[in-house]
Chain A
Amino acid sequence: MPQHPGVYGMATPQTHGVGGLTFDTSKRRWPNEMNVLIALVIIVGIFELLGQLMMGQSFLFNSSGRSDSIFNEQRLRIIVLQVSIVGIIAIGVTQVIISGGIDLSSGSVVGATAMIAMSFAQMGLVNGNPNPTLALGPWATDLPVIVPVAIGLSCGLFAGVINGALIAYTRIPPFIATLGMMVTARGISKWWTAGKPISFPTESYRVFGDGLMPVFIFVALAILFHLILRYTVYGKHTYAIGSNEDAARMSGIKVGRHKVLVYTIAGMLAGIAAIVLSSKNLTAQAGMGTMYELDAIAMAVIGGVSLSGGRGSILGTVIGSLIFGVIISGFTFLRLDAYYQEMVKGGIIVAAVVLDQWRQRRAAYGA
C-alpha cells in the first residue's frame, strides 16, 4: 500500500505505521446515508424537471399562490403521510436485516393486529343505532383506549417472539420462519371475523391516525431506534451478529436471545403500525397491510441497509422511505397510471441492491 505522508502525516503524525499496516485516509468515505440523500434530491429534481416540461407545474414548490409557503405543502404532507405507516414497520425490518435476517411477516401481522385491536376499540352506538360491525359483542364496546393499544402491542410482540424463537432455537432460515408467520397471520386476520370488516372506532382510538399524528409517531420511533442502534449494547450486538455471527458467538454474545429480542421489537413495531393504520382508516379489514412487508424491505434496501447484514441505519431507512414516497407521489403528479408506479418501484429495489453489491465489492477489493 503506497504511503502518502502528506495526507496523514499532518493529521496523525504519531501513528505513522510500517508497510502494509498504514491506513490511507483518502480511502475514508462519507457516510452511506449521504449517498441516499443525494439520490433523494436527484429524484425530486427529476420530477421537478418533468413537471415543468410536461405539466407546466412545479413538483416541489408552491405554484398555486394560494398560500404563503414556498413549498407545495399539500404534496409534502401527502408524501410523509403515505410513507409513515409502512415507515414504522421499516424501522423494525431495518433492525432485522442488519442482524442478518429478514422479516416477511410484518404486513400480515399488521392485518391480524389491526383486526384484533380494532375489535376492542369499537363504539357501542353509531348515530344512536347499535354498531353494525360489532366483532365481539356489546361487552367489548367503548373500552378505554389503553385496552386496544395494549392488545395491539401484545399481538405484535407475540408474533415477533414466535418468529425470533423459531429462528434462534430451531435454526430454520428467517425467510422460512417469517414466511410461515406471514401466511398464518393472514389466516388469523380473515378468521377473526370470517372476513367481515370492523369499523367505527371510539373517539380516543381515532387520535393515533388523525391528521399528521402518524408522521409524528413515525419520526419519534425513528429517532428513538436510531439512537438505540447507535448508542446501546443492543445496537452494537445487532450489527455484530449481522456482520459475523460466529465472531459474535465467540465473543460471548448470546446470539439466540438477541435474535429473539430483535424480532420481538420488529413485531411490536408492526403492532404499532397496525394501530395507527386502523385508526387512520377508521376500519380494519382482513386484507390490510398486504405487501407492506415488501415495501418496508424496499425502503430499508433503498436506504442503504445491506441484505447481507451488518450495514445500514435507521436514518438511511427514513430517507429511503422518503424516496419511496416521492416516487409514488411523483407518478400521481405526472398523472401516470399506477401500473407504472409498481413497475418502476420494482426496478428501483433491484437497482438499490445492485448498487449495494457493487459498493461492497469495491470496498472489499480496494478502490
Chain B
Amino acid sequence: MSNSDIILETRDVTKHYGGVHALEGANFNIRKGEHVAIMGDNGAGKSTFVRQITGVERPTRGEIIFNGQPVEFENPMEAREAGIETVFQTLALADELDVPDNLFLGRELIRFRLGPFSILDYKAMRQRTMEALEKTAVKIPNLKNTIRNMSGGQRQCVAIARTATFHSKLTIMDEPTAALGVQETAQVENIIRTLKEKGEPLILISHNMRQVFDLVDRIVVFRRGRIVANLKKEETDGQDVVAYITGAKTGAQYQDTAA
C-alpha cells in the first residue's frame, strides 16, 4: 500500500460552529478503488465531515490532500471540477428538466459558443447520458421524461448517474437509499457494486448496517465529532460496529482523543 494509492486524505480536519465542536481532528484516508462507509449516530459529525471535503464549508483548521495535492475548495463547484462528485441527501435535481439536462446542469455541452446564449449540443449530451447510464447500469427507459414524473428511485439513480458521467475521481453518497423502497434500494446498491467493479472509489454515508457490510471494504465510525474506529469489514461485525457507534467501545488508536 503505497502513498500514491491514496486518493483523499484529511489531516486534523476540524470544524467549530462558534462554541460547537462539530468535527474534531479528523484523520481519514481512502485509497483508489476502495469503498469506505462512514457510520455514526445523528449529529456524530458525518455530514459535517462531508461538507468540509466537498467545499460546501471550509474547515476551521486541518489539511485536505486530494490526489496528492493539498486543496482548499472555495465552493462545491471547485470540488466537483477537481473530481469529487457528491450525491447530496437533498437531491440537487431540477424537477422540470429531463435526464440529460439534469446530468449536464451547470456544465452543458456546447455546439456554438456565444456567452450565455451558447447553443446547446443536445445530441452529444443525450449520447453521453446513455453511456453514463450504461456504465452505472441504471435503467431509465425514457430520457425525455422530466424528473417530476419519476419515482424516488429513478431520481436517486439520475443523481448517481450524474456523478458517473464526469469520470469523477471520488464519489460521495450521503444516505442514498434513505427514502427509497426495497426494489429501489436494490437498484442503487447495484449501481454502487458497478462502481466498485470499475474501480471507482466511494465514500458512503449510511445507517443501514446490512447495506454497509454488503457493499464496502472498510467502516469508519464517527462519534461526537471524532473518528472513533477504523475497521476492516472482515475483522468486524454488526454488533461490534454498534458498540463503537454508541460509545461502548473505542478503537485502540483513538483512545486518547475520544472522550
Of B101, B139, B149, the contact of A27 (CB 8 Å cutoff): B149
Q: Which residues of chain A have C-beta atoms less than 8 A from B183's C-beta?
A: 18-21
Contact with B along A43-56 (1 / 0, CB 8 A): 00000000000000
Is A233's CB under 8 angstroms from B118's CB?
Answer: yes
In the assembled complex, which residues on chain A have CB atoms less than 8 Å from the CB atom of B187?
A: 18-21
Q: Contacts A12-B141, A21-B187: A240 and B149 contacting too (C-beta < 8 A)?
A: no
Q: Which residue of A lies closest to B157 (CB)?
A: A21
Contact: B94 with A240, CB < 8 Å? yes
- Complexed CA–CA distance, A20 and B156 (Å): 12
Q: Which residue of B is nearest A242, CB measured?
A: B96
A241: nearest chain-B partner, CB-CB: B94
Task: Return the contact of B149 from the options A228, A252, A363 (Cβ within 8 A).
Answer: A363
A237 to B105, CA, bound (A): 8
Q: How far is the CB of A228 from chain B (nearest CB, A)?
A: 6
Q: Is the CB–CB distance between A21 and B96 below 8 Å? A: no
- Which B residues touch A357, using CB under 8 A? none
Give chain A nearest CB distance to B259 CB in angstroms: 35
Does A97 interact with chain B (Cβ within 8 Å)?
Answer: no
Contacts of A335 in B (CB 8 A): none
Interface size class of B (residues with CB under 8 A): 35 or more
> Are B141 and A247 in touch, CB under 8 angstroms?
no
* CB contact list, A1-23 vs B, under 8 A: 1, 8, 12, 15-23
A23 vs B138: C-alpha distance when bound (angstroms) = 12
Rounded to whole angstroms, the CA-CA distance of A245 and B148 in the bound complex is 15
User: A243-B95, A310-B95 are known contacts. Are A25 and B120 too (CB-CB below 8 A)?
Assistant: no
Task: Kindly report which residue of chain B lies nearest to residue A98, judged by CB atoms.
Answer: B96
CB <8 Å contact, A1 and B96: no
Q: Are B142 and A28 in contact (CB under 8 A)?
A: yes
Q: Could you say which of A22, A232, A252 contacts B106, with CB atoms under 8 Å apart?
A: A252
Beta-carbon contact of B116 and A15 below 8 Å:
no
* Complex-state Cα separation, A347 to B38, whole angstroms: 56
CA distance A78 to B47 in the complex (A): 62
- Encoded as 1 (CB less than 8 Å from any A CB) or 0, chain B from 133 to 156 comes to 000001111101100111101100
Q: Give the residues in chain A near B110, CB-CB below 8 Å.
A: 233
Please tell me which one of the listed residues B76, B95, B105, B117 contacts residue A232 in the complex, with CB atoms under 8 A apart.
B117
> Which residues of A204-239 have CB atoms within 8 Å of chain B's CB atoms?
228, 231-234, 236-237, 239
Our pick among B80, B116, B140, B184 for the contact of A23 (Cβ within 8 Å) is: B140
In the bound complex, residues from chain A placing their C-beta under 8 Å from that of B148 are 363-364
Residues of B near A74 (CB, < 8 A) are none
Interface string of A22-40 (1 = CB under 8 A from B): 1101011000000000000
A246 contacts the other chain (CB 8 A) = yes
- Once bound together, how far apart are the Cα atoms of A311 and B146, in whole Å? 11
In the bound complex, residues from chain A placing their C-beta under 8 Å from that of B76 are: 250, 252
A248 in contact (CB, < 8 A): yes
- Given known pairs A19-B187, A253-B105, the reply for A248 and B141 (CB within 8 Å) is no
The listed residue (A8, A20, A233, A364) touching B141 by CB distance below 8 A is A8
Tell me the complex Cα distance, A246–B76, Å: 12
Cβ-defined contact, B92 with A246, below 8 A: yes
Contacts known (A243-B96, A261-B116); A236 close to B139, Cβ less than 8 A: no
B181 to A247, Cβ gap below 8 A?
no
Q: How far is the CA of A1 from the CA of B80 in the complex (A)?
A: 35
A244 contacts B93, C-beta separation under 8 Å: yes
Q: Shortest distance in angstroms between B135's beta carbon and chain A's nearest beta carbon?
A: 15
> Among B92, B105, B149, B184, which residue has its beta carbon within 8 angstroms of that of A21?
B184
Nearest chain-A residue to B121 (Cβ)?
Answer: A231
Residues of B within 8 A of A16 (CB): 139, 141
Q: Is B77 an interface residue (CB 8 A)?
A: yes
Are A244 and B117 interface neighbours, CB within 8 A? no
CA distance A311 to B183 in the complex (A): 31
Kindly provide the distance from the CB of B176 to the nearest chain A CB, expressed in whole angstroms.
14
Interface residues of B (CB under 8 A from A): 76-77, 80, 88, 90-97, 101, 105-108, 110, 114, 116-120, 122, 138-142, 144-145, 148-151, 153-154, 157, 181, 183-184, 186-187
| A-B contact list, 13 entries, CB within 8 Å | A16-B141, A19-B184, A20-B181, A21-B183, A23-B145, A23-B149, A231-B120, A232-B117, A233-B110, A252-B77, A252-B80, A252-B107, A364-B148
Shortest 8 CB-CB contacts between residues of A and residues of B: A251-B106, A19-B183, A17-B139, A310-B96, A252-B106, A252-B77, A243-B96, A243-B94
